[in-house]
Amino acid sequence: MNKKKIINDPVYGFINLYDDLIYELIEHPYFQRLRRIKQLGLTHLVYPGATHTRFQHSLGSVHLIQSAINTIRSKGHDISEEEARAVKVAILLHDLGHGPLSHSLESKWADDYNHENLTLLMMHMLNEQWEGQLEMALQIYQNKHPKKFLHQLVSSQLDVDRLDYLRRDSFFTGVSEGVIGSDRIIKMLSVKDDQLVVEAKGIHSIEKFLIARWIMYWQVYFHKTVVSAEQLISRIMQRAKELLGKGVELPASEPLLYFLNNRYRDDTREGMVRMFSKLDDTDLDVAIKSWSENHDRVLSTLCKNMLRRNLFKIRLQKEPFSDGQVQAAREEAVKMLDLKRDELDYFVFTRSITNKAYSLSGDQIKILYKDKQVKDVGEASDMLSLPVLSKIVKKYFLCYPGENNTIL
């Protein structure tokens, strides 16, 4: 086979794919679909450069995992060719199950399926098409493979997923605070007692990585304007479902209507996945343009606001908003928008977001010392303290219409 296997990537320069199976999987429509799923959903409304996709991120993750495999092997730990391929396949496909605009909307598509379930389902189907060649990748993805550290490379608090997305999201948003030394971290990886560990001289890179992740959360992922935009698209989907539920007809693409109308409930798993594999960001984009002229004033207003980037005003605070605060915002909105009471909930509402830099439960990041001792990073770091690191930060926000959110 004469396949081009070098890919230009603005983040790493060149990505080499040394494996034909990887290359064939990339060509599958399931994977090509990720070209139409932006990595950061609506974040480009705040950071215009952030139009990068899950397609790029998945390739970048394979690149990093190849490098990690080489490093770990060079330190005397065995990874067979078959295992190497499997771990690459697992990371390549780890984002298959992401729906359009990812996190903010994912729970909306099909009741019981979060994106991990969907990924798994799609991997199983690919495994059938490739006649079992993805068996070990599935094991690793589900942490059923005897070498636990392979799963940790794919999914843990120091997996290549995070290493790639932090660096890539920094690159495309232009937020230099998130730049991490992924090269150095990977060079410091090793294995001890079947656990992924970081050599002690890499401790500062890990500190930096944890901090960078924290900062990216607050500066980008939870940027208040991003949160506001996600709430807007969420309200749009909610209103569309409500109208469809009442029997109103809405123009939209077939896969979008399929999910909004809950048709998957009467369908087979295979049917659902087939339809899901045709759903991406562009279905929402086209629907919003069309709905911006709908008869329903709530839906058309919300969609017009999206098209004009006329987002909700948003206020964040550490305490829940009192009923009085919410009520005051509602009164203000009523004056401004001439809405019915039951429509108001689409324009004034409160929710919360939470984050912590590091989780104390499960797969903590382990530091390996020269004397073979292993410590948790929270214990090993002079700078970071476990209580601070693992503290959950919760913020409440209130959304309400700005000056131009008038019903037109």
Helix or strand holding residue 379 (H, E): helix 377-380
Pairing mode, strands 195-199 and 366-368:
parallel
Nearest CB to its own copies, comparing residues 215 and 334:
215
Instruction: Please report how close the Cβ of residue 328 comes to its own copies at its closest, in angstroms.
Output: 18
Q: Are the C-beta atoms of residues 374 and 281 closer than 8 Å to each other?
A: no
Site for its own copies contains 323 (CB under 8 A): no
Site for its own copies contains 309 (CB under 8 A): yes
The single residue among 207, 242, 363, 376 that binds its own copies, judged by CB under 8 A, is 207
Site for its own copies contains 253 (CB under 8 A): yes
φ/ψ of residue 146, rounded to 5: -60, -35
The C-alpha atoms of residue 98 and residue 44 are separated, in whole angstroms, by: 18
The single residue among 3, 103, 289, 340 that binds its own copies, judged by CB under 8 A, is 289
Site for its own copies contains 244 (CB under 8 A): no
Nearest CB to its own copies, comparing residues 142 and 290:
290
* DSSP labels, 6-68: EEEETTTEEEE---HHHHHHHHSHHHHGGGGSBTTGGGGGTSTT---BHHHHHHHHHHHHHHH
Site for its own copies contains 27 (CB under 8 A): yes
Site residues for its own copies, 341-360, by CB under 8 A, read: 357
Nearest CB to its own copies, comparing residues 27 and 342:
27
Site for its own copies contains 376 (CB under 8 A): no
Q: How far is CA 183 from the centre of its chain?
A: 22
Site for its own copies contains 175 (CB under 8 A): yes
Q: Are the C-beta atoms of residues 273 and 122 closer than 8 Å to each other?
A: yes
Site for its own copies contains 251 (CB under 8 A): yes
The single residue among 164, 283, 296, 343 that binds its own copies, judged by CB under 8 A, is 283
328's tokens:
């005051």
Give the interface segment with its own copies, choosing from 122-130, 213-221, 260-268, 336-344 (CB under 8 A).
213-221
Nearest CB to its own copies, comparing residues 87 and 303:
303
Site residues for its own copies, 2-21, by CB under 8 A, read: 6-11, 13-14
Nearest CB to its own copies, comparing residues 53 and 234:
53
Q: Are the C-beta atoms of residues 117 and 97 closer than 8 Å to each other?
A: yes
* DSSP labels, 77-101: ----HHHHHHHHHHHHHTTTT--TT
Give the interface segment with its own copies, choosing from 80-88, 91-99, 148-156, 183-191 (CB under 8 A).
183-191
Quick note: the x/- pattern for its own copies over 53-92, rule CB under 8 A, is x-xx--x---------------------------------
Q: How far is CA 121 from the centre of its chain?
A: 18
The single residue among 51, 80, 114, 129 that binds its own copies, judged by CB under 8 A, is 51
Buried/exposed code over 152-176 (b: 16+ C-beta within 10 A; e: otherwise):
bbbbbbbbbbbbbbbbbbbbbbebe
